[in-house]
């Protein structure tokens, strides 16, 4: 814990400073609660049991993590396939980029029609938002490996799987995690977009409900919990990046 604080004390200090500025702005500016509640009033909204904070947070978290995991698997998998076949890459990569240009807000109602109403549709919306950055960066990373090194392993009768696991993947890891970081940010946005379009659960749905009653404190709390879900996901990606890249460096 002490090592963590020493490593991240500047980041912690900046967050504390932001909360302090927020509280001072509301207190000194005499800002009405319905416009901007204080941090204390925002946290106090967690005591309203009718908002079912725990369940709604778990629903949004399931959508974010589920769609993101699917995006990582599909993105990295397609990048690997495209690195093995120039024909498939030339045929399908431009198509995937073109399809990704479709606004996800427009796809939301179609996902609901095709895949029913609920968490499943929102997971697909999250996936559609976050998988392309992972695919593009991973594909770029796999191409950055020196061709001479791959030819050498092939000359030594190394299998395609050995080339991938021993050469291509370790070399592409920085690119993979760069895409995963971008995807983590987009995953949170995708879940909220899905809940805004059509959902009866989740923090995005809750925000729409409290907007009607002008319960701004609950809206702020929803935003904070959504942010917390995203921070947890991003922190896990950073931890995984540090673990794998450091471990790979030690092996080398």
With CA atoms as reference, report the closest residue to 167 among 190, 187, 144: 144
Domain range list for the chain: 52-251
Token representation of residue 27: 């207190």
Q: Is 39 exposed, middle or buried (0-12, 13-18, 19+ CB in 10 A)?
A: middle
Tell me how many degrees the CA angle 40-42-45 measures, rounded to the nearest 5.
110
Model confidence at 172, in pLDDT bands (50, 70, 90)? Answer: confident
**CA gap 203, 223 in Å, rounded:** 8
Q: Give the start-end residues of each E strand in the chain.
A: none
pTM for this entry: 0.86
Judge contact between 100 and 156, C-beta under 8 A.
no
**Closest C-alpha among 29, 60, 14 to residue 223:** 60
Tell me the CA distances in angstroms from 200 to 45, 136, 190, one per residue in order. 20, 34, 16
What CATH number labels 52-251?
1.10.3720.10
Q: What is the pLDDT of residue 222?
A: 92
Cβ–Cβ < 8 Å for 240, 173 = no
Q: What is the pLDDT of residues 176-225, one digit of tens each?
A: 999 999 999 999 998 998 888 878 889 998 998 888 888 888 999 999 99
pLDDT of amino acid 34: 78
Closest CA to 137 of 66, 237, 250: 237
pLDDT interval class at 158 (50, 70, 90)? low
Contacts of 79 (CB under 8 A, 6+ apart): 134, 135, 138, 139, 141, 142
Q: Give the CA distances from residue 127 to residues 15, 17, 22, 64, 249, in Å, rounded to whole numbers and listed in that order.
A: 30, 34, 34, 9, 31
- Is pLDDT of 46 > 90? no
What is the rounded CA–CA span in Å between residue 119 and residue 127?
A: 12
């Amino acid at each position: 814990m002490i090592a963590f604080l020493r490593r991240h004390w500047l980041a912690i200090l900046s967050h504390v400073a932001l909360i302090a500025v927020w509280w001072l702005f509301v207190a000194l500016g005499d800002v009405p609660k319905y416009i901007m509640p204080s941090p204390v009033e925002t946290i106090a909204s967690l005591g309203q049991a009718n908002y079912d904070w725990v369940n709604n947070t778990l629903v949004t978290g399931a959508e974010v993590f589920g769609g993101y995991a699917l995006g990582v698997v599909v993105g990295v998998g397609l990048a690997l396939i495209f690195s093995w076949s120039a024909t498939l890459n030339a045929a399908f990569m431009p198509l995937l980029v073109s399809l990704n240009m479709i606004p996800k807000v427009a796809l939301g109602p179609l996902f609901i029609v095709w895949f029913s109403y609920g968490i499943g549709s929102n997971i697909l919306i999250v996936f559609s938002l976050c998988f392309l950055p992972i695919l593009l960066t991973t594909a770029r990373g796999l191409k950055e490996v020196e061709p001479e090194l791959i030819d050498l392993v092939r000359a030594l009768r190394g299998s395609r799987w050995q080339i991938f696991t021993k050469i291509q993947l370790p070399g592409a890891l920085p690119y993979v995690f760069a895409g995963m970081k971008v995807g983590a940010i987009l995953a949170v946005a995708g879940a909220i977009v899905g809940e805004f379009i059509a959902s009866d659960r989740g923090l995005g749905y809750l925000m729409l409900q409290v907007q009607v009653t002008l319960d701004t404190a609950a809206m702020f709390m929803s935003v904070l919990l959504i942010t917390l879900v995203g921070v947890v996901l991003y922190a896990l990606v950073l931890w995984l990046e540090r673990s794998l890249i450091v471990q790979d460096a030690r092996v080398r």
